[in-house]
Amino acid sequence: MSRGNSGRIVLEIDPALKDKLYIALANEKLTLKDWFLKQCNEYLDNVSQPKLSFGKVTKNTNKNRKDK
């Protein structure tokens, strides 16, 4: 797929899917552009900022510790 220098994105999808999307967006009072930009920003935020993973949190009993 070619990529031009304009701010336009053109893609072809199934007409039935397009209709469903427009109906769902209308119910949310969103335009396709607003929805698309929101999705783009959320995606790019997740891609550019790796998620922190702290692993499983366990209780530290410190069995080798001697009380003073």
pLDDT at residue number 64: 59
pTM for the full predicted model:
0.63
DSSP string for residues in 27-51: HTT--HHHHHHHHHHHHHHHHHSPP
pLDDT at 42: 93
- Average pLDDT by stretches of 10, the chain with 68 residues: 86 97 98 96 86 70 59
Cα-Cα end-to-end distance for the chain: 71
pLDDT recorded at residue 23: 98
pLDDT score for 56: 75
